[in-house]
Structure 1
Amino acid sequence: MEAVEAKAGESCADALARGLSKKRFKQVVAARCADATMDLTATVPQGCTTLTPVYAASPQGLEVIRHSAAHVMAQAVKTLFPQARVTIGPAIESGFYYDFDFERPFTPEDLEAIEAEMHTIVARDAAFTRREVSKAEAVALFNAMGETYKAEIMDDLGGDHFSLYSQGDFVDLCRGPHVPSTRFVSAFKLLSVAGAYWRGDENNRMLQRIYGTAFADDKALAAHLAQIEEAKRRDHRKLGPQLDLFSFHEEGGAGMVYWHPKGALVRTILEDFVTREMLRRGYGIVRTPQLLKRELWETSGHYANYRENMYFTQIDETAYGVKPMNCVAHMLIYNSSMKSYRDLPVRYFELGVVHRHEKSGVLHGLLRVRQFTQDDAHIICRPDQLLDEIKGVMAWIQDLMGLFGFECAMEISTRPEKSIGSDQDWERATAALMDAMAEMGLPYAINEGDGAFYGPKIDVKLRDCLGRMWQCSTIQVDFTLPERFDLVYIGQDGERHRPVMVHRAIMGSVERFIGILTEQYAGAFPTWLAPVQARVLTVTDDQKAFAETALAALQDSGVRAEADLRNEKLGYKVREAQMAKIPYILVVGDKEVESGGVNVRLRGENCGLKTLVEASRMILEDCQEPFKRGGMRYSFGSQPSPA
């Protein structure tokens, strides 16, 4: 990293200006010494001999800009709506927000006015200035301003002294750092407004949360806004109903998906492929109940560590828990008979429906639901088999994600504060995950304290075509639950030994994965996954009889086809088929009837006249292509033979 010599007591700005060119210094918004990020106006602390510049376009620089933009937005809101009270306004991954206590929801017109006022504030080039005051002085100041939330925040933070930041006549409680002046916040855009409970507690007052984003320059902002528009075009919540895949019905319960025939077909095709792969890879398919007695969840540790995410009910005066995971049931199956060391590994696979209590505020289409299906499996193996089993799961994850064109990034999540099991078992489990990744030559990051309560895990994050990251696959190593449920096998020495369990999901939630795929393909699923692979269109009613014959031939060969025989203009019918994202459009006119074929269009590209056999073969070979590229086996339909 670039470093500049500094002297204790001088300003960070002076030190960096001395060590950088004028052009480079103009791009600096803050300074770093060791792990501390500071304002440019701050003095270099004792013991700090070098400073690292924080450039506006860097991730740290964007965080400083966005947090400063939140302050500018708060100032604009207070200028236009003096009765509004401010709460908190952090930078977030792709922007910032600020929560306000206001008597009514902000309207789109309000956002336009706030944004205009922000531009006025930015143009003033007002400096961000910092000062330290006692808690008593800060409380008195904010109470005098009517900003009562700030006192609560200070109580939460603790301490006797706090830093205040000002730009112009606006003062806010903040740790900082901030950009030197408001002119560094020129490339911003307000995006939306939503309700948010104070402190995230639904028993507290509802606040108005305004979201925005900010970048180092207008070009980067424009690129981000274009990406937002593309994400809206691909939004699965819009495409699902548009393509007749699924719907949600609040009257039936929030967070529950209603799959329509086409969506259920996509899901069935995907699940069938995954199930066949599981059988090929040595898994046994199981099915387990939705309800298990509460005592089992107490034994597993779920009741103590996970019950706020579970649903419970009473049957014949006995308490039951609706399963949020399948692991407990799979261990009961394992214990139904004694296993020898020769029987291991045992691999149980289940497309298991689970329920988890998610707060209504975080529900989000297919991506966050209360009922979902996991492509869940549990591998119970000997400790000496553990490394190969982890590597086998990781290879399967790479195969599946490669099929859909996803790039993957891996994290190993370590022991959380709320957990069960011995230190020794956690160390063994974490070492096994790291060793497997090392042997496969796969890079990974460490996510401290985010493991499951029973064991560490590898989380696989997918990067989609818009560069967004999604967490789907997981591999978890667990020495603890086999102990709690007394899982054993008879070793070569005739003694009882304790196995280890690997919890793994490849897609994760089937619902979530289909939501991600819908956005990845903008609803235009690859031919093998498309619910309708081909639609036969007639030019006039004269071709109706032949079109019906063609449809039957396509369906007999295994193609998922339908026909549009309406007496409508061809252009209208083609447009409707394109809007439905159907891969193949097969047009039948007088010439096609005469030759006994169809005119083939593949997603807008005219492929010309084909016989019915040629058209069927073309579609089925298109289905096979992604599997061939990935070196995988999967069959579709029955390959037609020449008539």
Structure 2
Amino acid sequence: MAKMDSSFDAGIAEIEPSHSGLASIQVKLPDGSVREFPRGSTAFDVANSISPRLAAASVVAKIKALHRAASTPAAELDKDVEETAEAEMYVDHDTAVERLVDLHAPLEEDVELQLLRENDAESLKVVRHSAAHVMATAVLELFPETKLGHGPATDAGFFYDFYRPTPFTPDDLKAIEAKMAEVVARDQRFLHEFEDREEAVSKFRDTGDFMKLHFVERFTKPGEMVSLYRNGHFTDFCRGPHVPTTGRVKAFKVLSLAGAYWLGDEKNPQLQRIYGTAFFSQKEMDAHFARLEEMAKRDHRLLGKQLDLFSIQEVAGAGLIFWHPKGAIIRKTMEDWMREECLRRGYSMVYTPHVMRRELWRISGHEGHYAQNMYTPMELDDAEYRLKPMNCPGHILIYKNSPKSYRDLPVRYAELGNVYRYERSGTMHGLLRVRGFTQDDAHIFCTPEQVEDEMAGCVEFAEVVLKTFGFQEFKVELSTWDPKDSKSYDGTAEQWQMATLAIESVLQRKQIPYKTFLGEGAFYGPKIDIKLVDVLGRLWQLSTVQFDFNLPARFDLEYVGEDGERHQPVMVHRALFGSVERFFGVLIEHYAGAFPLWLAPVQIGLVPISERHREYAEKIQQQLQKHGFRVELDGRNEKMNAKIRDFTLQKVPYVLVMGDKEAESNAVSVRARGKGDQGSVGFEEFLTRIQGLLESRSMEL
């Protein structure tokens, strides 16, 4: 077995540069400077030459060959391999354009080099991968009969698959975490070593390590050297990279245990998957778990039940939402605002059928491109029909029903239309992924000269939607086609280029930063996806604006131009809530169920101190309802504090308490959500205050 470099048994400060000959290489640093080092120098050598403190703080290095163009070998993998963590762990990335390497990997050619420290996101993935090795080390020391699967880093932490006939117990997980602490305390080096493929195959076969044998045979070729990483007595088939020592895995936790079949096939042995997570520091890990706890408190499914907003009934079917009265009033408020805003912006409201002939979906292209997401056809008297997954063909038929002139354009149709999509059972999640939902859809038919202004208007409208509902930050993505996969898209290269340039012009004109993603566009054209950022910093995909040169051609849409000739209009799709259900689910979590006054299902709770104060409370209720407020009076024979507590648990914005003093002076004692007792104020003064909050749709109380 050959080691990558033989000095790993020494401490970092004692490591000498490992130079293989007198030839030199050039290393380009992020500041643009180029330095010369002996060939075989390491990233650690480079860091140490700049500053010992930098060397000690570095976690991993990112390099890119200065004078060599190469393709990423992952492109040559089977698609099913690309979609697993196996590809990242076992495929050789030595020819990748840009790659991460160990700090102590020898540099054999001219490179651009970047030293990544603990504040770099890519470093965290390396730490987590190393933590998976630490966990595997601990498991084998405690349970040596165990066979290893694979252990990748994930966005949330890491996991490792193990084969062991005896199930792990909760006490075993505690023991594994304790043993991991011992491995970390040993501060063992992560040694990159190589072994002849046939030797590795023979060894794994002899020891019965059927999973490692599979990985070696699948991800290496005869005659190749197999890449291994060793820390102490533990060795694993792995490409790396890793942190320098186990001691750099500073904060970690074993989380849970789950079952998994080997290679995802239930005919294969069942594995035990242990999940964990790791961070650079205990402080960061504590913050992570505090955030998870907050997310759990905000779970819209939990709050939906607690606040009696909606339900999903098993007897009716998965992914189908029942809106309860309180949820329905919030939905009505959202939809009323959207309809009013659409009308103010020159849209015409329309309604289209829920089910239409299958032939319509053939014409639109959905039958060919989207059938797997549609419900199966139903055969009626005259033809086959499908539930609609989109509103666009219906709006097209309304446009086509009467002749149009250039003077009529743009034509803007908007609909809060119910659509139905066949989501697989494992993908549904409360309100966020459903089978039946209401899309705030709009389609704009315009001339090519009008399209940029129309798309700019849609983006501005989206900003207004997000800010009105309390979101101050969003990120924008431009999704377009992949020219290498043109069969998956309609339209010519010229049309896609024209449409993409139009969208880019809109975003640049509005000075909106964006990222471009190839291959993520709709089959009929490129799109803008606007992802809002909630109070916990999570991204949510909701608003979208899409360019379409395909459907107008498929349906032979036209208008008479100023020249008297017939022309084909351009079409813009846009949905700003995205779906009412999903937007509502995000709102619940963003506000933790404590909706602002204008959205709250019950805006004011009334608490008469005793039965003799009920008449005054009813008078206040009538006056508030006369001014359009949603009010609930608790007239139960319960103590005042119990009534206040119940309204508080329902997250009602204002609770008004009324006794003798308030009845005598036409006043109310105000308790504001999150602020407590605000004292007694005159009713008219209170009414004026909350009317202002309602009209401005304020987020504050």
Secondary structure of the residue aligned to 2:370 is helix
5+ unaligned residues in a row in structure 2: which ranges? 1-29, 65-97
Shift of 1:319: 3.7
Moved more, 534-543 or 120-129: 120-129
Distance 1:393 1:584 in 2: 36
The CA RMSD over aligned residues, in Å, is: 2.8
Residue 387 of structure 1 aligns with which residue? 452
Secondary structure of the residue aligned to 2:574 is strand
Residue 273 of structure 1 aligns with which residue? 337
- Contact 2:542/2:578 (CA < 8 Å) preserved in 1? yes
1:93 pairs, out of 136, 139, 155, with 155
Residue 107 of structure 2 aligns with which residue? 44
- Contact 1:559/1:616 (CA < 8 Å) preserved in 2? no
- Contact 1:474/1:506 (CA < 8 Å) preserved in 2? yes
Shift of 1:61: 0.9
Number of equivalenced pairs: 628
2:598 is the counterpart of 1:524: no
Shift of 1:581: 0.5
Cα–Cα, structure 1 residues 112 and 487, in superposed 2: closer, same or farther, change >3 Å? farther
- Within 5 Å, give how 1:104-143 maps onto structure 2: 108-133=170-195, 136-143=198-205
1:507 pairs, out of 573, 577, 581, with 577
- Within 5 Å, give how 1:538-557 maps onto structure 2: 538-557=608-627
Cα–Cα, structure 1 residues 261 and 397, in superposed 2: closer, same or farther, change >3 Å? same
Shift of 1:169: 3.6
Secondary structure of the residue aligned to 1:7 is strand
Cα–Cα, structure 1 residues 373 and 337, in superposed 2: closer, same or farther, change >3 Å? same
Residue 498 of structure 1 aligns with which residue? 568
Shift of 1:284: 1.4
Residue 618 of structure 1 aligns with which residue? 689
Residue 3 of structure 2 aligns with which residue? none
Residue 179 of structure 1 aligns with which residue? 243
Read off the aligned partner of 1:117 and give its amino acid letter. K
Cα–Cα, structure 1 residues 281 and 201, in superposed 2: closer, same or farther, change >3 Å? farther
Distance 2:204 2:332 in 1: 59
Cα–Cα, structure 1 residues 445 and 108, in superposed 2: closer, same or farther, change >3 Å? farther
Shift of 1:476: 1.1
2:474 is the counterpart of 1:408: yes
Read off the aligned partner of 1:405 and give its amino acid letter. F
Read off the aligned partner of 1:623 and give its amino acid letter. L
Moved more, 533-542 or 65-74: 65-74
- Contact 1:312/1:319 (CA < 8 Å) preserved in 2? no
Cα–Cα, structure 1 residues 462 and 69, in superposed 2: closer, same or farther, change >3 Å? same
Read off the aligned partner of 1:553 and give its amino acid letter. Q
Cα–Cα, structure 1 residues 18 and 348, in superposed 2: closer, same or farther, change >3 Å? same
- Contact 1:6/1:44 (CA < 8 Å) preserved in 2? no
2:45 pairs, out of 12, 15, 34, with 15
- Contact 2:598/2:698 (CA < 8 Å) preserved in 1? no
Residue deviations 1:537-573 (CA, integer Å, cap 9, x gap): 0212221222222222211221100011222222222
Distance 2:291 2:430 in 1: 20
| Percent of aligned pairs sharing the same letter | 48
- Contact 1:5/1:51 (CA < 8 Å) preserved in 2? no
Shift of 1:526: 0.3
Distance 1:555 1:466 in 2: 35
1:472 pairs, out of 539, 542, 565, with 542
2:232 is the counterpart of 1:168: yes
Residue 669 of structure 2 aligns with which residue? 599
- Contact 1:534/1:585 (CA < 8 Å) preserved in 2? yes
5+ unaligned residues in a row in structure 1: which ranges? 630-643
- Contact 1:234/1:519 (CA < 8 Å) preserved in 2? yes
- Contact 1:8/1:47 (CA < 8 Å) preserved in 2? no
Distance 2:433 2:165 in 1: 30
Residue 430 of structure 1 aligns with which residue? 500
Distance 1:513 1:561 in 2: 25
Shift of 1:303: 2.8
- Contact 1:4/1:15 (CA < 8 Å) preserved in 2? no
Shift of 1:153: 5.0
Secondary structure of the residue aligned to 2:434 is coil
1:300 pairs, out of 343, 355, 364, with 364
- Taking structure 1 as the reference length, what is the TM-score of the superposition? 0.90
- Within 5 Å, give how 1:175-214 maps onto structure 2: 175-194=239-258, 209-214=273-278
Secondary structure of the residue aligned to 1:384 is coil
Moved more, 521-530 or 82-91: 82-91
Distance 1:561 1:297 in 2: 47
Residue 651 of structure 2 aligns with which residue? 581
Shift of 1:258: 2.2
Secondary structure of the residue aligned to 1:176 is coil
Read off the aligned partner of 2:568 and give its amino acid letter. R
Read off the aligned partner of 1:29 and give its amino acid letter. V
Distance 2:357 2:212 in 1: 46
- Contact 2:193/2:228 (CA < 8 Å) preserved in 1? yes
- Within 5 Å, give how 1:179-258 maps onto structure 2: 179-194=243-258, 209-258=273-322
2:449 is the counterpart of 1:366: no
Read off the aligned partner of 1:348 and give its amino acid letter. Y
Secondary structure of the residue aligned to 2:422 is coil
Residue deviations 1:565-623 (CA, integer Å, cap 9, x gap): 22222222212211111000000111112223221121134333234333333222211
Cα–Cα, structure 1 residues 484 and 336, in superposed 2: closer, same or farther, change >3 Å? same
Shift of 1:206: 7.0
Secondary structure of the residue aligned to 1:69 is helix
- Contact 2:149/2:162 (CA < 8 Å) preserved in 1? yes
Cα–Cα, structure 1 residues 619 and 420, in superposed 2: closer, same or farther, change >3 Å? same
Shift of 1:326: 1.7
Residue 414 of structure 2 aligns with which residue? 349
- Contact 1:16/1:53 (CA < 8 Å) preserved in 2? no
Read off the aligned partner of 1:36 and give its amino acid letter. R
Shift of 1:137: 4.8
Distance 1:170 1:570 in 2: 66
Read off the aligned partner of 2:108 and give its amino acid letter. P
Read off the aligned partner of 2:416 and give its amino acid letter. L
1:57 pairs, out of 99, 105, 119, with 119
Distance 2:690 2:358 in 1: 51
Read off the aligned partner of 1:43 and give its amino acid letter. P
Residue deviations 1:450-503 (CA, integer Å, cap 9, x gap): 111221111111111111111111111111222122221111112221111111
Secondary structure of the residue aligned to 2:652 is coil
Secondary structure of the residue aligned to 1:250 is coil
- Taking structure 2 as the reference length, what is the TM-score of the superposition? 0.83
Read off the aligned partner of 2:443 and give its amino acid letter. H
Moved more, 276-285 or 331-340: 331-340
- Contact 1:6/1:15 (CA < 8 Å) preserved in 2? no
Secondary structure of the residue aligned to 1:92 is coil
Secondary structure of the residue aligned to 2:681 is strand
Cα–Cα, structure 1 residues 433 and 617, in superposed 2: closer, same or farther, change >3 Å? same
Distance 1:15 1:541 in 2: 82
Read off the aligned partner of 1:516 and give its amino acid letter. V
Cα–Cα, structure 1 residues 58 and 469, in superposed 2: closer, same or farther, change >3 Å? same
1:537 pairs, out of 603, 607, 611, with 607
Moved more, 55-64 or 212-221: 212-221
2:395 pairs, out of 330, 352, 357, with 330
Structure of higher CA gyration radius? 2
